[in-house]
Amino acid sequence: MSTTTTMSTSAIANDLFDNLFSTYLQNIISLELNNQKIIQLRYQLANSEEIKLNANPSDNVYLSCKHCKRDVSSNRFAAHLQRCLSRGARR
């Protein structure tokens, strides 16, 4: 009778370990899948036709300065703001 009890205890222990291990593995896999989905949503890849590495933009974007109401090229906007706002402080 003691061997039967020992075997059943051993079998129960193995079942518990297998269940615990598979649950742990499923949790890791689901967390990784969720992380991958979040990354894909955050950084959606463009079509290969849209990707242009080291290419100049065909149209330059112009932004309107709220301080002086001028249209300024986007690549010069930070420098313009610095000059524009410092001129206003000197007046």
Per-residue pLDDT tens over the stretch 1-44: 455 566 788 889 999 999 999 999 999 999 999 988 888 777 66
Q: Where are the domains of the chain?
A: 1-44, 60-91
* Residue pair 67/84 in contact by the 8 Å Cβ criterion: yes
CATH code for residues 60-91: 3.30.160.60
- 86 vs 76: CA distance, rounded Å: 16
Please choose, from the candidates 77, 78, 46, the residue with its C-alpha nearest in 3D space to the C-alpha of residue 61: 77
pTM: 0.40
